[in-house]
Amino acid sequence: MIAHLSSEQLSEFMLGRPSPLVDQQVARHVQNCPACRAELANFREALGEFRGAVRAWGEDQANTLAIPAAAREPRAWRASHQLAWAVLIAAVCIIASFVIPRHPGDGAPGSDAVLLNQVDTQVSRTVPSSMEPLMKLVAQE
């Protein structure tokens, strides 16, 4: 008779794949040894509880992920309406930018046209304003 079964031997016996050499000895030992039989029962019970927990978790996940079609419809409806409103507002803004008359403020201080004229005047000079008297002297000769 063999000593108590190792956890590996119990696992193989549980899976129905004991090693061929000790197959009969393991089966006889399990029948005759209450400790190994209890250990095997505990192992089966633990596997059964694990199997049940995995199946329950899978069903819970399937239930939480399976959204009925009626629940999906309002979200899709809201999203499409939000997109339609966004497009409508963008179109109104674009049309309004062409339709609303603009009053150019050419003479207003600080306007773009005035600033551009000042920059153009300063850039078109051949010399800085501080050197203009020198240029006049050179031009006279």
User: What's this model's pTM, rounded to 2 decimal places?
Assistant: 0.38
Write down the pLDDT at residue 106. Answer: 43
Query: At residue 111, what are phi and psi to the nearest 5 degrees?
Result: -75, 165
Q: What's the CA dihedral at 70, 74, 77, 83 to 10 degrees?
A: -140
Write down the pLDDT at residue 141. Answer: 60
99 compared with 49, residue with greater pLDDT: 49
Structure tokens at 3: 């000593």
Give the rounded percent of residues in the chain with a pLDDT score beyond 70: 74
Contact 136, 129 (CB under 8 A): no
